[in-house]
Structure 1
């Protein structure tokens, strides 16, 4: 449970109808397996101790008594362990029978949660046997102990404040106003659902969407255990579709028609951060609730949770293509509005033959098409200087030609050399002044050209560069509208590739593919043997690592130690641990020290859940210090 991770499970045991002894043995086997696997919360199906499909046998005293007798054996198995399990079983109280989820831990019953919504339509006849549960908890006695019983129960872990569990039973999740809504408003972070949902064609898709949607709208973890093989097939078939979801993400799902246990490592810190971040998520109101405390030992898990090394880029090819098309449209729509508002019919773009300026040019061409402005009023300016290579120069020229934009070449060597003379810079000293003078000269040319043309300078820098401050202040840092300002470098690459794959023009595709194959570089130092001498990722680190850090830091506010652990898990054998730690420290240093550049960055459209605009997602002081974060990494 270090860093907020907790292992949970949804288990479907083999059952025999009306045979609690057999069912108890199978439940206990899965409990023991869960204990060995360091599971802390385990959910079983609805009425699994008797089987859901007992029908009128629920009216038999022998069955009800046997179920409670077998519950004692389950308690014996849990004794000495902190695994919290929810077992579905019938429970009689004051002459009425209830369909309940019984919470058990360490040899005792913590609480009994009755089902609220009893289906009595189509194939369901639960009102024939059961009474709807009470919301307000009451106290029932069993085996000489007092047990709270009611829907409004919260099981609170004393050692882990973020862990607050509530339960609902099957149909409760399918109604317009499920109990889980008020549970999370009372502070529950995890919902357990003991379910017996039969299979009909297409129901699995709806069920998955339902549970995932609940976890998203309620910003919670959701453990859904469904009845499976062994239930009566007199009229129905149960498939055992178990689901573990977290804030809209499916962590684990079992295959149907085979009784299995599925495991998932939930991130409680992520849930807590999301609720804290969302000003519309209300503070907990626990009136009418009874809080049941329990204890749980903290232990560090070897994570089985999948951590996506590329959080900005979908793995699925179809989804990635859909996302790329959507982002290109957002970028183009942003520029379209700015052009129509200003009345500009011309734009100026510095085109280098690199990824970022290529994407900016592609987006601008799309915006011009939307406005029905001729593309020859896009002025793509190539400004070769000391570090320009033939490869990037040729690609810049060819790309501009293929997009039917106007190409303008301004060689800035003479102007920069004159500037060096004016400020007393030795051209043989290849320091930051040597580099930045070139970037600022290029920006001056673009701005002045825009003035002459009554146009607008389109910025090319991406979000990863802004996060690292890898931009020359008042150089490539500045523009009149930055179309790439919230697109991370790892995503820029996929956007250009998507355009190459869908443009339908072989020559355009070829040049785009060569741009993709070119090392990322500002090209501010002289080439070696005609090849790029200055590779950005050699200097500031791999962009795939920095984009991973950026996402986890801004999206979830995690501790540096946790981000390091996640990165080690996500990138596996791709990087040594020491390498990841080195670049994470670099990221924090640069992220804090370079905020002044982001504080005055140009306008640009937000395209994803993470952005660094000072007018939107990141209101951060330019003089904040990074000591707290770096010290945590130094202590690893």
Structure 2
């Protein structure tokens, strides 16, 4: 029986579906851990295939490849190096499980299955996996490891079962995505399990972006006395060797490594950077192209893109019309100068005149309205897509959650593109994030230290500039009011009566609710974007397009 143990925590960034690449990454982490004397390397949830695999795991050939990879990694442990707690999908008796395996001495020496399958928000594991039985501990070098997978930690019975069957420490591989209102929930649930069992707990989370989800890392260790000896960094891959000793009160981690998780706005900005970076990198785009209007949304999107990819991979385009002000042109130029990006100008007036000529006979006798405004937006979308097709860079859309909520966006126009970093960020938070980035810089950002956008972009009244003297507040309530109502409707699902009781104008609440519902068809056709809140449009909030319900009293 050993009294000391070195456990390596591999806070890794797998690519979903890239089994060979993930196995190569696992070998790299294991080699580094071996060089530092680790005896066991722990990997995040479903590492072999990536998380969340969704319906990919329903493909038999995919499961076969994952299971072969697990066996190949097991054989690797014949070399005398560290064992691995490796994760992946496994089938048994015609059923598919979310599994963790102990790989040692050239074989799979133990297997445990996830017991609690999440079926809410972005999770729908019940569709593809079977729940496993309550697990017992895994013996390793005379230590009984209580291994439970992600959601298993959020409920008491799995940890209780492990304690009652002799576990001496709890190890939790995770695929836990970021949302800015989750706060300390992970740590709080971990503390609850430690208090109930009096056992130390290792919480290992993956890192990286997967479509709309971003995994922020932030892995940690709690000792049995609820102290926090280890807090790993957010937003980056990392390997940490934790040292453990058995004492009179059981096992305890003696490593002291505490990284600052950052402020709330730092986390929001970083999740956009990491989400965009991995979406571009993992889908092998050479970079991004976006319209730079001189407004705050495009300026913030450009700043995130430069911080994620570097200025040389970001192409900005001004597309002025007759309604574009000199102020907007100056702000766009200065923003591009601050960021160091390539900036081209493509005036859209010739295309606008062409459309007027094409449609003139059909539109005869009508007044100009939103139709002509949307034509301008769609011309810009076609222009950006042409540049994307010609040069390969992905179009980055720049709309925010406030606009997407109420349909203040043109389908096939400014909604046109491959990805959106602001999709789940309300307008008021766009202002806050812009202010934060102008005053903060982090070492992993690829953009400049200092100002990344003119201050005028942040303080001037927002406008789409699709007609003379247009301002957003001509059509919408002030964003402070709009965003508060939207948060109540979207994130909190509050009733009309509850929102009005908070002091909001009844007719305004009715109008915003109606706009929210009728814009659902647009959101269904919008590009994916970084999930930031507890309820993003898409994976979290699934409302019908055809919907006659209105809560107006």
Higher alpha-carbon Rg: 1
Tell whether 2:463 aligns with 1:525. Answer: no
CA deviation string 1:128-148 (max 9, x = no partner): xxxxxxxxxxxxxxxxxxxxx
Q: CA deviation at 1:548?
A: 1.2
Tell whether 2:532 aligns with 1:607. Answer: yes
Match for residue 509 of structure 1? 451
Match for residue 340 of structure 2 among 404, 412, 421 = 404
Distance 1:390 1:354 in 2: 12
Q: CA deviation at 1:217?
A: 7.5
Q: Equivalent residue of 2:491, what SS? A: helix
Q: Equivalent residue of 2:513, what SS? A: helix
Q: CA deviation at 1:213?
A: 5.1
Distance 2:526 2:384 in 1: 17
Q: Equivalent residue of 1:584, what SS? A: helix
CA deviation string 1:459-482 (max 9, x = no partner): 100111111111011111221011
Match for residue 470 of structure 1? 408
Tell whether 2:378 aligns with 1:440. Answer: yes
Q: CA deviation at 1:401?
A: 1.6
- CA 1:428 to 1:346, structure 2 compared with 1: closer, same or farther past 3 Å? farther
Q: Equivalent residue of 2:317, what SS? A: strand
CA deviation string 1:504-539 (max 9, x = no partner): 99996395311011111111003xxxxxx1111221
Tell whether 2:273 aligns with 1:332. Answer: yes
CA deviation string 1:377-430 (max 9, x = no partner): 311000000221111111011111211110010000111111111012479943
Q: Tell whether the 8 Å contact from 1:324 to 1:495 is kept in structure 2 after alignment.
A: yes
Q: Equivalent residue of 1:586, what SS? A: helix
Distance 1:478 1:354 in 2: 18
Tell whether 2:417 aligns with 1:494. Answer: no
CA deviation string 1:97-121 (max 9, x = no partner): xxxxxxxxxxxxxxxxxxxxxxxxx
Match for residue 368 of structure 1 among 309, 321, 325 = 309
Q: Tell whether the 8 Å contact from 1:420 to 1:426 is kept in structure 2 after alignment.
A: no
Q: How does 1:268-287 map to 2 (within 5 A)?
A: none
Tell whether 2:542 aligns with 1:619. Answer: yes
- CA 1:339 to 1:181, structure 2 compared with 1: closer, same or farther past 3 Å? closer
Tell whether 2:285 aligns with 1:344. Answer: yes
Distance 1:386 1:468 in 2: 26
Match for residue 394 of structure 2? 456
Q: CA deviation at 1:540?
A: 1.6
Unaligned runs of 5+ in 1: 1-179, 183-208, 219-318, 370-374, 527-532, 569-576
Q: Tell whether the 8 Å contact from 2:338 to 2:451 is kept in structure 1 after alignment.
A: no
CA deviation string 1:414-464 (max 9, x = no partner): 111111110124799431111000000000000110111111001100111
Tell whether 2:303 aligns with 1:356. Answer: no
- CA 1:507 to 1:438, structure 2 compared with 1: closer, same or farther past 3 Å? farther
Match for residue 420 of structure 2 among 460, 482, 492 = 482
Q: CA deviation at 1:555?
A: 2.4
Q: Tell whether the 8 Å contact from 2:314 to 2:342 is kept in structure 1 after alignment.
A: yes
Distance 1:362 1:500 in 2: 10
Match for residue 555 of structure 1 among 485, 488, 491 = 491
Distance 1:356 1:426 in 2: 35
Match for residue 587 of structure 1? 512
Q: How does 1:210-289 map to 2 (within 5 A)?
A: none
Match for residue 121 of structure 1? none
Number of residues paired by the alignment? Answer: 300
Q: Tell whether the 8 Å contact from 1:416 to 1:438 is kept in structure 2 after alignment.
A: yes
Q: CA deviation at 1:342?
A: 2.4
Q: CA RMSD in A?
A: 3.1
Q: CA deviation at 1:611?
A: 1.2
- CA 1:427 to 1:449, structure 2 compared with 1: closer, same or farther past 3 Å? farther
Q: CA deviation at 1:589?
A: 1.0
Distance 1:618 1:474 in 2: 22
CA deviation string 1:41-76 (max 9, x = no partner): xxxxxxxxxxxxxxxxxxxxxxxxxxxxxxxxxxxx
Q: How does 1:30-45 map to 2 (within 5 A)?
A: none
Distance 1:516 1:456 in 2: 26
Q: Tell whether the 8 Å contact from 2:303 to 2:452 is kept in structure 1 after alignment.
A: no
Q: Tell whether the 8 Å contact from 1:461 to 1:485 is kept in structure 2 after alignment.
A: yes
Q: Equivalent residue of 1:540, what SS? A: coil
Distance 1:321 1:361 in 2: 22
Q: Tell whether the 8 Å contact from 1:522 to 1:534 is kept in structure 2 after alignment.
A: yes
- Structure 2-normalised TM-score? 0.50
Match for residue 55 of structure 2? none
